Structure 1
Amino acid sequence: MIIDAHAHLVPPTLVDAIKSQAGKFPSVRITEEGGFAFSGGKPTRPVSKGLSDLPARLKWMDENKIDRQIVGGWLDIFGNDLPVEEGIAWARLYNEHMLATSKAEPRLIPLCLVPLQDGARAAEVLREAHGQGFKGTMIGTQPNGKGGVLDDPSLIPFWEAADELGMSVAIHPVFESGDDRVHDYGMANAVGRVTDMMIAFARLIYSGHVTRFSRAKIVAGIGGAALPYVIGRLRTNYGLDKKLGDPDAALATLYYDTIVQDTRTLRYLADIVGADRIMMGSDMPFPIGDLVPAKIVAETNFTDAERASINGGLAQRLLDL
């Protein structure tokens, strides 16, 4: 089974459902361009056709010989900065339509949305989603708006629930990386996502979350960002303060995808963390991803067994497919 372990989906029925239930979401505004604005904040980009076009997605999967695809939502519209009760209703609505879409098209494996504005309620929604058949969740690097951190003590109930349930937790950079210097030259995609991920994961590593909640199967997207490259600095910092979480133990606990766009980088990632921790991913439908994801795996120096694991074996085991 060939599995794309990193993709995004806005269910085709979701936007109409939001419009029909607008009274439930007073803090959400749909813009004329087709984007969203949450709690009076900056409008998102419009929802691109590729996020919802199922026939085109399935055609792409066939062309790339991909049997199944793990799909999270679109980070721009996770709504983690909504008021708590509104955010809970938003997550439940998104999950309802993700589940319905995957039931209509079983090649898609959905990841649920949780309201990270409140750790206890996020745990509640995660447990509901697990009961509905979700195998994991996708969360953003900055919960509750710009500058949020995933090691916030208020989120401990969420991490405990994910750990207890053995859910996969795919962590993904958000649209606003937190550094205004990246808003030129396309740098938000080129490097902003990387620095955002690196900072979020460094906090989870040093706080001890990665090893403490290891049954949660935490996935570090975009090849673990720069974490493998800076392991020496992370290790040195840990040596200066042994009260911190051990970065070597953490990197050996995480899972990763192949979205690094360079065979030498992918081979280096495997050398640092082990090829058995890596899954093929595309970041579909975004062009900064890898829309021919099998190619880099085929062209990198892996054994046949490693390649089989990366191309679907690990994802199949991880999500018990």
Structure 2
Amino acid sequence: MTDTDRYDVHTHVVPPELPLVAARTAAADNRWAGLRHDRARPTTADVIVAGRVFRTIRDVAYDFTARRAEMERDQVRGQLLSPMPELFATWAPAGAARDHARAFNVWLAAEVAAGADAFRGLGLVPVQAPELMASLLTEAKELGLSGVEIPCTGPDAPLHDSRYEEFFAQAEALGMLVFLHSVGNLVAFSNQLAGSAAVFPARIGEAVAGLIANGVLERHPRLSLLVSHAGGGLPASLARLEFVRGMSPAIDEIAPLPGATYAARLWFDHLAFDAELLRGLAALVGTDRIVFGSDYPFLAGDVESVLRHPVLPEHLDRAVRLDNPQRLFGSLPTPHSAGTPVKEGTPS
């Protein structure tokens, strides 16, 4: 073990062949993400959305041989793999979204099974069709996946809406991890990276605070949730929740415990990008609930040195890089030696 060994719980993957839906479905709507390979650039590919290059990605996103080599070089012991957020496709019709999710889950389960102990995988479920989410979650576990990644809000309702109750109950019953990834509308921003800085922390904080304030985490105390972007603005929301509790005793009937008590049941990646913010998160949820997440391979730059800032608790660096993610990995359903096929649905 070295001072840079780590497990990374916030990493993304992209199937090498996109789109995953039938050709006629993809042709009918060019919002389905596609992947364009160019022989002149063998180590990169372009993600195409709505006829334009949305992002150029490195081969480690879809080539697991290249990915393992880079992990060994960078002393990464294991990764939790989740879909590129553009694959959420929350705008798609329910039937097509179901088939897209199933195809992704079958692909990822096979890759995870072939990756020995290096990987755990998170699949897709269609948040635009809450009535399908629980059954697809069950299928994902049967395939050998450890959970699913979902956007921090549905297209028509927040996650704390009652229509998602069956999904969260099933995730709790199956012991499947739910990774809440921040999303937001960046169309109005002239620079999308700047837009993500403005939007993502606010949206993820709102989502988790909603699950607390509307009693979802009270009803499902064993629900396993991983929160992206270090919870964003969650601390401010929880402070306000405790203040207004005194103004409305009825809050105690919905969420009788302090908001921080519910938050301390969750896992948070460390992507606060600021030592003081990270120290505040550790004070709120505990040093044992923060795990290393890099947004690999999409986020360039150093996200690790912040863990060695002198303002942070003495042992937080090792806890975030190794001890905490090892406990998270150990709590997850393990991959099968081979993925179990599931019956494809009929596209709608």
Offset at residue 120 of structure 1 (A): 2.4
Return the alpha-carbon distance in structure 2 between the equivalents of residues 138 and 46 of structure 1.
20
Return the alpha-carbon distance in structure 1 between the equivalents of residues 326 and 151 of structure 2.
26
Q: After superposition, what is the alpha-carbon deviation per residue over 1:46-88, rounded to whole angstroms, capped at 9, x for unaligned?
A: 4623532434433432233111100110111212221111111
Quickly say closer, same or farther: Cα 1:71–1:238, change in 2 above 3 A: farther
Q: How does 1:302-313 map to 2 (within 5 A)?
A: 302-304=313-315, 307-308=318-319, 310-311=321-322, 312-313=325-326
Between Structure 1 and Structure 2, the one with more strand by share is: 2
Given residue 284 of structure 1, which amino acid in structure 2 is its aligned partner? Y
Match of 1:202 in 2: 209
The reply to whether residue 148 of structure 1 matches residue 152 of structure 2 is: no
Q: Is the 8 A contact 1:279 1:314 kept in 2?
A: no
Match of 1:94 in 2: 104
**Match of 1:3, SS?**
strand
Match of 1:258 in 2: 270
Return the alpha-carbon distance in structure 2 between the equivalents of residues 7 and 185 of structure 1.
20
The reply to whether residue 161 of structure 1 matches residue 162 of structure 2 is: no
176, 179, 183: which one aligns with 1:170: 179
The reply to whether residue 71 of structure 1 matches residue 81 of structure 2 is: yes
Offset at residue 125 of structure 1 (A): 0.2
Offset at residue 297 of structure 1 (A): 3.0
Offset at residue 109 of structure 1 (A): 1.5
Return the alpha-carbon distance in structure 1 between the equivalents of residues 222 and 131 of structure 2.
19
Q: After superposition, what is the alpha-carbon deviation per residue over 1:157-183, rounded to whole angstroms, capped at 9, x for unaligned?
A: 111111111211110112426x95x55
Given residue 120 of structure 1, which amino acid in structure 2 is its aligned partner? E
Given residue 199 of structure 2, which amino acid in structure 1 is its aligned partner? G
Q: Is the 8 A contact 1:277 1:314 kept in 2?
A: no
The reply to whether residue 22 of structure 1 matches residue 23 of structure 2 is: yes
Return the alpha-carbon distance in structure 1 between the equivalents of residues 283 and 99 of structure 2.
43
Match of 2:244 in 1: 237
Return the alpha-carbon distance in structure 1 between the equivalents of residues 285 and 200 of structure 2.
21
1, 6, 9: which one aligns with 1:5: 9
Q: CA RMSD in A?
A: 2.9
Q: Is the 8 A contact 2:57 2:298 kept in 1?
A: no
Offset at residue 16 of structure 1 (A): 6.5
Match of 1:225 in 2: 232
Given residue 160 of structure 1, which amino acid in structure 2 is its aligned partner? A
Match of 1:116 in 2: 127
**Match of 1:214, SS?**
coil
Return the alpha-carbon distance in structure 1 between the equivalents of residues 70 and 13 of structure 2.
14
Return 244-253 or 96-105, whichever deviates more.
244-253
TM-score scaled to structure 2, two decimals? 0.78
TM-score scaled to structure 1, two decimals? 0.84
Given residue 168 of structure 1, which amino acid in structure 2 is its aligned partner? L
**Match of 2:201, SS?**
helix
Where do 5+ consecutive residues of structure 1 fail to align?
none
Quickly say closer, same or farther: Cα 1:233–1:305, change in 2 above 3 A: closer
327, 339, 342: which one aligns with 1:314: 327
Give the percent of matched residue pairs that are identical in Structure 1 and Structure 2: 25
Quickly say closer, same or farther: Cα 1:303–1:185, change in 2 above 3 A: same
Quickly say closer, same or farther: Cα 1:160–1:233, change in 2 above 3 A: same
Offset at residue 200 of structure 1 (A): 1.7
Given residue 238 of structure 1, which amino acid in structure 2 is its aligned partner? R
Offset at residue 134 of structure 1 (A): 1.3
Match of 1:133 in 2: 144
**Match of 1:72, SS?**
strand
Return the alpha-carbon distance in structure 1 between the equivalents of residues 246 and 72 of structure 2.
49
Quickly say closer, same or farther: Cα 1:94–1:47, change in 2 above 3 A: farther
Q: After superposition, what is the alpha-carbon deviation per residue over 1:91-140, rounded to whole angstroms, capped at 9, x for unaligned?
A: 00111111122223332211010111222211000011111211111100
Given residue 101 of structure 1, which amino acid in structure 2 is its aligned partner? E
Given residue 23 of structure 1, which amino acid in structure 2 is its aligned partner? R
**Match of 1:15, SS?**
coil
